[in-house]
Amino acid sequence: MTALSGKVQTVLGLVDPDQLGRTMTHEHLTMSFECSYVSPPPADEAVAENPFQLQHMHWLKQNPYSCRENLFLQQEVSALRDELLAYKKAGGGTIVENTTTGIDRDLPTLRQLAKDTGVHIVAGAGFYVDSTHTVATKKMSVEKLTDIIVSEVLHGADGTDIRCGVIGEIGTGWPITESETKVLRATAYAQAQLGCPIIIHPGRNTAAPAEVVRILQETGGDISKTVMSHLDRTIFDEEELLEFASLGSYLEYDLFGTEMLNYPFNLDVDMPSDSQRVKALAFLVKEGYEDRLLVAHDIHTKHRLTKFGGHGYSHILKNIVPKMLSRGISQHQVDKILIDNPKRWLTFK
């Protein structure tokens, strides 16, 4: 038991879990994804430098990471405020903002957005993938990393008094690097001290989620309070999915709204459509996992904002929920996915 037990920690302080309402468990509001820039094909360079025009929007959807300007979501604070107000109007209550060290977390802006809009925002502690770890981070011991993560939850992060309410998204690649392994171990130790929720960004390989779970378990992590993100681009085979589900983490489909033919971070992956995501959720519900499912959009680039013709943060509430209902997921099960499961995960033990 800690002072946080039974509560959820938002950027404005502790709240009662019943106040959260419908929750997107994996979003970004202020971040940079410059670490993942992919050079455009030479013939497309002119489009990439002048992207936000109607005639270029299809190109941008297919090549979101090949346009530098698209990667600086944090430049759109005013549009984000409008997005959050629209999210609230659509019935949203809470957003988990998973930006961690390495991709430009901005806690004062998150606090201001929460104050301006009344949407609860839960911020993330810890570190993103290896390529964003500084030389100093890579040299740190697991104990030092643990102290930093614990302090970001108990006292505040980035020199502020704004406290994080989850650990993650903790970034891992494939294969998992030495530095990422240390961060995973620190995450498990911090979780054991704090009884807090954690959320993982796995590498882009079918074996990656289970390997992360193995490392966390080895270090005393609580898998029942762990979210495995991005399953929609990671595990496709139903049997493999059930095998992973049996390990006991939350199962997150968090790329709703993303459709692209060639996924540049792993060309072997066929990025699913939203219909295929709903089909995967219906399959997991049928297999008895309705208490472990979570959903989100993981917006991390500008072109997905409604300002630029994108689907925005209300797409799931407005468009995906009706689709779920039409595909055999009941209203009670939808409420579990949007309200009860996030609430249980986010509540400190």
**Residue whose beta carbon is closest to ligand LB7ARUS3:** 300
Query: Which amino acid type is present at position 327?
Result: R
Q: Which one, 98 or 347, has the nearer CB to ligand LB7ARUS3? A: 98
Residue 118: exposure state from Cβ atoms within 10 A (0-12, 13-18, ≥19): exposed
Q: Does 274 bind ligand LB7ARUS3 (CB under 6 A)?
A: no
Instruction: List the one residue from 233, 302, 303, 311 that touches ligand LB7ARUS3 (CB under 6 A).
Output: 233
- Residue 209 Cβ, how far from ligand LB7ARUS3 at the closest point, in Å? 12
**178 annotated to a ligand binding site:** no
Q: In the 8-state DSSP scheme, what is residue 219? A: T
Distance, CA of 174 to CA of 208 (rounded, Å): 7
Pairwise CA distance, residues 257 & 269, whole Å: 17
Q: Which is nearer to ligand LB7ARUS3, 15 or 35 (CB)?
A: 35
For ligand LB7ARUS3, the binding residues in 292-311 under the rule CB under 6 A are 298, 300
| Rounded Cα gap, residues 296 and 298, in angstroms | 6
Is 28 marked as a binding-site residue?
yes
Strands 120-125 and 92-97: parallel
Do 221 and 192 meet the contact criterion of CB atoms below 8 Å apart? yes
| Closest CB 336 distance from ligand LB7ARUS3, rounded Å | 24
Whole-number minimum distance, CB 344 to ligand LB7ARUS3, in Å? 24
Applying the rule CB under 6 A, the residues between 307 and 346 that interact with ligand LB7ARUS3 are none
Q: How far apart are CA 94 and CA 96, in angstroms?
A: 7
User: Which burial class, exposed, middle or buried, applies to 89 when counting CB atoms under 10 A from its CB (0-12, 13-18, 19+)?
Assistant: exposed
Q: Is 332 marked within a binding site? A: no
| DSSP reduced 3-state for 293 | strand
- According to the annotation, is 169 in a ligand binding site? yes
**Helix, strand, coil: what percent of the chain each, to 5?**
50, 15, 40
Nearest approach, Cβ of 228 to ligand LB7ARUS3 (angstroms)?
12
In the region spanning residues 42 to 81, those forming contacts with ligand LB7ARUS3, defined by CB under 6 A, are none
Strand, coil or helix: 127: strand
Please, which of residues 91-150 interact with ligand LB7ARUS3 by CB under 6 A? Answer: 103
**Structure tokens that stand for 13 in this block:** 């302080």
Contact with ligand LB7ARUS3 (CB under 6 A) among 163, 201, 225, 315:
201
Hunting for tokens 């779920």 — which residue is that?
324
Of 230, 303, 304, 311, which one interacts with ligand LB7ARUS3 (CB under 6 A)?
230
Q: How far is the C-alpha of 303 from the C-alpha of 83, rounded, in Å?
A: 13
At residue 25's C-alpha, the angle toward residues 315 and 164, to 5°, is: 135
Query: Count of residues binding ligand LB7ARUS3 (CB under 6 A)?
Result: 10
Task: Return binding residues for a divalent metal cation.
Answer: 26, 28, 169, 201, 230, 298
The site for ligand LB7ARUS3 (CB under 6 A) is made up of: 28, 33, 103, 201, 230, 233, 255, 265, 298, 300
Task: Return binding residues.
Answer: 26, 28, 169, 201, 230, 298
